[in-house]
Amino acid sequence: MFNSLSDRLTATFKNLRGKGRLTEADVDGTVREIRRALLDADVAVPVVRSFVSRVKERALGLEVSQSLNPGQQVVKIVNEQLVEILGGQTRRINLAKNPPTVIMLAGLQGAGKTTLAGKLAKHLKSEGHTPLLVACDLQRPNAVKQLQINGERAGVPVYAPHPGVSSEFEEATGDPVVVAGNGVSEARQKQHDVVIVDTAGRLGVDEEMMKQAADIRAAINPHEVLFVIDSMIGQDAVNTAQAFNEGVDFTGVVLSKLDGDARGGAALSVTHVTGKPVMFASTGEGLDDFEVFHPDRMAGRILEMGDILTLIEQAEKSWDKDEAERMAQKFVDQEDFTLEDFLAQMQQVRKMGSMKKMLSMMPGAAISKQQLEQFDESQIDRIEAIVRSMTPHERVAPKLLNGSRRARIARGSGVHVSEVNQLMERFSQAQKMMKKMASGGGMPGMPGGGA
Ligand code: GDP
C-alpha cells in the first residue's frame, strides 16, 4: 500500500535532516520532489497542484519552532496536508434514527462491492447490529450466489430474489429496483437494524447502469450510498468517481484492493475531487481484510510514521485476553520469560492476521521493507516444531541447550542445527527486550518481528 510513494517522500525528507534552517531553495527542491512523487503515484493533477501549493506556502512561512527542526516541521506540514486531502476527520456510518439504516453500494463491476458487502456486514455485526444483505446485482452471473456465500461466512442473512439460483451458468432475473425495495421491507419486517444493498456494476461507466443505480437510490432512499472503488485503477479513478458522484450522489467512498502494490493515487484523489470522505478500506479477499478509514492514521502510514493505533486495535480484536493477562502478570512478578512464552507470543501475533500486513503498519524504524518482504510466515511453524521438540525442562531452562541437545532437537523437528541456533539467538534477544520492558514499562512488543 503506497509503498513507492512512501519511499519517495521519506527519501525527500531525509535530505532536510540536520538542516538548521530552510532556504527558499530547500523548500523549492522539496516541493518539487513531493510533486513528482505524487504524480508518479497517480494522484490526479489538480489534487497535486493544490497539495504542493499549500505545502510550499506553509513551509516558506515557517516560524522558528522550539521543539521541531525545519525538516521535522516540513514533515508535519506534509502530514497535515495529507490528512486534509484524505478527508480530515474519520467519518462513521450515519445511522438512522428510525432503523433500518439503509446502505447502498455502488461502483464498477469488479470494484469489490460484493466482497465489501460481506465485510461490512461482518463489521457491523461485530458492533452489535443485525444487518441484512440484499442481492440486487442481477447482472453479473453468480453475483447473488457470491453474496450468499459471503453472507454465510459473515453469519448474516441474505435477501435474494431467487433463493434457488445457484448455478454458475444461470443468471438470476428480476428487476433490481423491485428487489431492493422488497429487501428493505423485509429488513423492516424482520427488524434488522441495518440493510446493505449490493448493486450491479459494469466494466466501464455506462448510462444504463447509472440509471439503474439512480433508480434504486430513489426507490430505497438510503442513509448512506457507498461508492466502492478499486485503488488500482490509477488515473481513471477520478473520472469514474466524478461520474458516480453525479450519477448517484454517493455519501462516502470505500477504497478496495489497497493491499495491492498499486501506486494508490486514487485514494489520494477521490475525496478532493468529489468532496466525499473515504469511510472504509478493503485490504484483501478475506472477510476480515477490512478497516475503518482514518485519514490521520493513513497519512501516518504513508509517511512511515507507523500506524500504531490501527495495529493496537487489530491486536485487541484478536488478542487472547487471558494470555495477555498471564504475560502481564509475569512482568509484574518478574518471572523469567521462557521459550514457552516466546512461542505463545508468536502464536498470538499470527492470530492477529497476516503477519506481513501487521508488520507493515509498524513504524519504519522497527522493520525495514526488505525484512518484511523476506518474512515468511512458515517460520512460525518451524519455530513451533523446534520448541515442541524440546523437553519441558529445556523450554524453561534454555541454558541447558548444549550442542548435543541442539542436534537432537534439530533432528526431532526436521530442521538444520543452524535454525535451532538462530532461534535461540532470537529468543535471547526477545528475553532481553522483555526484561527491559519489565523494568521500564511500556507495551509488550513482538519478539522475532524482525525476522
Ligand atoms: P464486484 O463486481 O464489485 O461485486 O466485485 P467483487 O466483490 O466480486 O470483487 C472482484 C474481485 O476482486 C474478486 O475476485 C474479489 O475477491 C477481489 N477483491 C475484492 N476486494 C478485494 C481487496 O480488497 N483486495 C484484493 N486483493 N482483492 C479483492
CA distance 80 to 141: 44
Mean pLDDT, rounded, for 90-101 = 94
What DSSP character marks residue 415? S
**Domain shared by 300 and 233, yes or no:** yes
C-alpha cell of residue 61: 512561512
Q: For residue 107, which atom of ligand 1 is closest to its CA?
A: 3
CA distance 267 to 281: 10
**Domain shared by 49 and 129, yes or no:** no
Three-state SS at 115 = helix
Does ligand 1 have an atom closer than 6 angstroms to the CB of 201? yes
Torsion of CA 404, 408, 414, 415, to 10 degrees: -20
**Domain shared by 325 and 404, yes or no:** yes
Q: For residue 284, which atom of ligand 1 is closest to its CA?
A: 24
CA distance 10 to 426: 29
Highest mean pLDDT among 150-159, 201-210, 261-270: 150-159
CA distance 123 to 393: 44
* Cα angle value 369/375/377 (rounded, 5°): 145
Does ligand 1 have an atom closer than 6 angstroms to the CB of 119? no
Does residue 151 lie in a domain region?
yes
- Collect all residues with Cβ–Cβ distance below 8 Å to 291 and sequence separation of at least 6: 280, 281, 283, 310
Mean pLDDT, rounded, for 321-337 = 65
* Cα angle value 225/228/231 (rounded, 5°): 150
**Domain shared by 277 and 318, yes or no:** no
What would the pLDDT profile of 334-367 be if each residue is shown by its tens digit? 567 788 888 877 776 666 555 566 656 554 434 4
pLDDT grade for 59, boundaries at 50, 70 and 90 = confident
**Domain shared by 269 and 190, yes or no:** yes
Does residue 95 lie in a domain region?
no
Q: In a mutational test of the pocket of ligand 1, which residue from 115, 150, 259 has the highest number of ligand atoms less than 8 Å from its CB? A: 115
Strands of the sheet with 101-106, listed across from one edge: 158-159, 131-136, 194-199, 101-106, 224-230, 252-256, 278-282, 290-292
CA distance 342 to 202: 50
How many structural domains are present in the chain?
3
Greater model confidence, 291 or 364: 291
Dihedral sign for Cα 220, 226, 232, 233, please.
Answer: positive
The residue range of the domain holding 39 is: 3-85
Global model pTM greater than 0.80: no
**Domain shared by 387 and 346, yes or no:** yes
pLDDT for 364: 42
Q: Range with the lowest mean pLDDT among 98-107, 120-129, 422-431?
A: 422-431
**Domain shared by 129 and 243, yes or no:** yes
Torsion of CA 84, 37, 29, 26, to 10 degrees: 50
pLDDT for 8: 84
The CATH number of whichever domain residue 213 belongs to comes to 3.40.50.300
- Collect all residues with Cβ–Cβ distance below 8 Å to 196 and sequence separation of at least 6: 103, 105, 117, 120, 121, 124, 131, 132, 133, 134
What is the residue-averaged pLDDT of the chain? 82
Residue 426 pLDDT > 80: yes
Does residue 448 lie in a domain region?
no
What would the pLDDT profile of 358-408 be if each residue is shown by its tens digit? 656 554 434 455 555 566 667 778 888 899 899 988 988 888 999 999 999
pLDDT for 383: 86
What would the pLDDT profile of 156-199 be if each residue is shown by its tens digit? 999 987 644 444 434 445 789 999 999 999 999 999 999 999 99
CA distance 348 to 21: 46
Cis amide linkage into residue 398, ω under 30° from 0:
no
**Domain shared by 113 and 250, yes or no:** yes
- C-alpha 356 to ligand 1 mean position (Å): 20
Q: For residue 137, which atom of ligand 1 is closest to its CA?
A: 4
Q: Which positions make up the binding site?
A: 107-114, 198-202, 256-259
Terminal CA-to-CA distance of the chain, rounded, Å? Answer: 21
Q: For residue 198, which atom of ligand 1 is closest to its CA?
A: 4
**Domain shared by 130 and 217, yes or no:** yes
Does ligand 1 have an atom closer than 6 angstroms to the CB of 107? yes
Residue 225 belongs to what H/E stretch? strand 224-230
pLDDT grade for 442, boundaries at 50, 70 and 90 = very low
**Domain shared by 113 and 239, yes or no:** yes
The CATH number of whichever domain residue 363 belongs to comes to 1.10.260.30
**Domain shared by 250 and 156, yes or no:** yes
Q: In a mutational test of the pocket of ligand 1, which residue from 144, 285, 290 has the highest number of ligand atoms less than 8 Å from its CB? A: 285
Highest mean pLDDT among 11-15, 54-58, 104-108: 104-108
What would the pLDDT profile of 210-255 be if each residue is shown by its tens digit? 999 999 999 999 999 999 999 888 778 889 999 999 999 999 999 9
